[in-house]
Structure 1
Amino acid sequence: MFRSLRERNYRYYASGQVVSLTGTWMQRAAQDWLVLELSGGSPAALGVAVALQFAPTLLLTLWAGVIADRFDKRRMLVATQSALGVCGLVLGLLDVTGVVLLWHVYLLCFVLGCFAAIDAPVRQSFVVEMVGSRQLTNAVALNSMTFNLARIVGPAIAGVLITAIGTGWVFLLNGLSSVAVVAGLALMDASALHRAKPPPKERGQLRAGLRYVRGRPDLIVVMVLVFFIGTFGMNFESSFAVIARNVFGRDADGYGLLITMLAVGTLTGAALAARRSGRGVPRLRLMLLGAGVFGVLEAVAALMPTYELFAASLVPVGIAVMTFTTSANATVQLAVEPTMRGRVMGLYMLLFLGGKPLGGLASGWLAEVLGPRWPILLGGLASLAAALGGVAVLAWRRRTRLPESKG
């Protein structure tokens, strides 16, 4: 199940990610709680913070994919990860000194989002350079396990620390945690990386990447699904904070537990994906099944009447969403030309994360007008509709190609 860890470079990377991602999830929980405190519990304010953090994805991620195809990804990640750590330190200093205002949080959300938008496609396309194409599916699944292990530990720690010492120290700890991933990148053996020959320097590389995807209906189905589920189905953190505080009357530790329960499910889903990775390349059928089941389970979770039932329902939701995301990521990376991988993953991350501003604002508005449960209910129904649409498109393509193959 852990075959990709045989690669020395990937071991360094994964070790640093465990520490850094734990700090990242600590900051996310603390940031949401700080916004609610500074805004008097406003869901709309939390939606603005989410929108500002993910808005730069719309402007920068595609170009970051072009850069990722041309330049040294390892060095780029050292720069972006260092900058993300500095953002945490600045917010922490503002908070612990007692001068933080809501607009400070908004500004730093935007700055952090700029660096994260560049980091995402570079980091995603760097995985295959560390492990090679044969171990890519396993490494994607292990990355998801690392991510979700941090998702369990980070919010749980943050919930305790927020209550004990305040949100500011959580931000400072996240800033320091970035040292681990930067050190792992610096210790890598660059000569052992599986680097593809960079494309020639010429104009129109971004357009060439978009044309490449446009000519691949299988990739278009994945991209559309990723957009709908990433935008409307996966606004968990902002929705959970509002539900914990405004529906069930829980404190920060209650919010942290909801994220932890979801992460238990996603960690389980990632482990199952790692086991499946030995059976060959991922299939579109599994991705579509994961998307549809996720939509149904999320809608059901939104209707749970008690805090305990709502928390328990998040475990199967996490398994389903991780089945979808790991299969979608690996399907895209294995299906594209190596020289196009950075640009295609740039588009993938743009659609996966770029809809977050829309989703964050929509979630905040729906929670304000209709109630805190509605963003999760409608997000689940939108995800189910997208999955059914993907099934219909692929079935139609299969039927239209059959007469051609017989002739």
Structure 2
Amino acid sequence: MEVYLDNNATTAVDPAVYEQMKPFFCDIFGNPNSLHRFGAGTHPKMMEALDYLYSGINADDEDDIVITGNATESINTVIKGIWIDKILNADKNHIIVSEVEHPAVTATCKFLESQGVSVTYLPVNEEGIVDVQSVKQYLREDTALVSIMWANNETGKIFPIEEIGQICKEAGVLFHSDATQAIGKIPVDVQKANVDFISFSAHKFHGPKGVGGLYIKKGNKLTPLLHGGEQMGGKRAGTVDVASMVGMGFAMKLAVEALEYEATEVKRLRDKLESAILELPETVVIGGVNNRTPNTTLISIRGVEGESMLWDLNQKGIGASTGSACASEDLEANPVMNAFGSDSELAHTGVRFSLSRFNTEEQIDYAIEAIIGAVKRLRNLSSSYAYAPESHKSGL
């Protein structure tokens, strides 16, 4: 049996989404900026896709949703755009982000630091989220932007976006949230959240890879990351990938319709898997079990290297992760677990399981059996665990 439990890295395209996309490869293939009927033929479905996107995040008609290549491009557009508009051309030189942001945020901020920008990296508390008051504490007169993720890609922890947005609004500071791991898992309401920008990728909610979105609240302007054309109202140059745009819009529609299923059935299967693993001694959910997206668990298994666990599970046809797929080949200790203050041993033991609406009870039962077997085998081989006192290994 094959069991895919790495849906925070990417998801399978929903077959219904694929069907919506198919006509735009060979039949309705015109460039949407062309004036002839071949180009105009793409417009109805493109407008429908935009309607689904606007509705899915409760955007206002006067807001902008720019179609990008992925969330990484959207994030770069916001942070570098603010750098150009508010830092180079104004008197603001400070950005605030959290320590556990996706590399798309932190790497971009490191680049800006090399250009003389001051960046504050907010620590997380014992639950793995940013304390609202710490945002307020570190705001400065020269703060141009606050960027805090909506939900963490490794722990699934949900951040207090509405409260942070209100603080930024009162301070007159722009607020961006990377909503990549939130859309399709929990409700995302940009009006309620007081955000100026959000970024997202279709492939995280059963849409195609290679397409993402950038929400821009009305009244906000950004220097484009890409120049060379008037597509997307001049906000992002380049011929629009119509098939992917249609796919992302329809995937958004289906994801929003499935939110109740995510909150009940996906959560039930996640909890079943998690509970079975936690019955093993010296296992713990990083960040605790509260205030998370319903599909995600990051579990530390003392005495078991995360990479070794993934190898064993892969042999059984099970896909999981040690954390962010964008850093999966980096064998350094998990930076999110380091941010929690985990000791050097535990920082290498985190394994992330992330489910989707396509996982089944049978798959979870199979995964539980394989995981328990892998933990027993690897602990018996571990020099740091296998030779500890028997009380240390109670139950194994």
Bin of the TM-score, shorter chain as denominator length: under 0.3
TM-score by length of 2: 0.27
Question: Hey, which of these two has a bigger chunk of helix by percent?
Answer: 1
Which of structures 1 and 2 has the bigger CA Rg?
2
- Answer 1 or 2: higher relative contact order, Cα 8 Å, separation at least 6: 1
Question: Hey, which of these two has a bigger chunk of strand by percent?
Answer: 2
TM-score by length of 1: 0.26
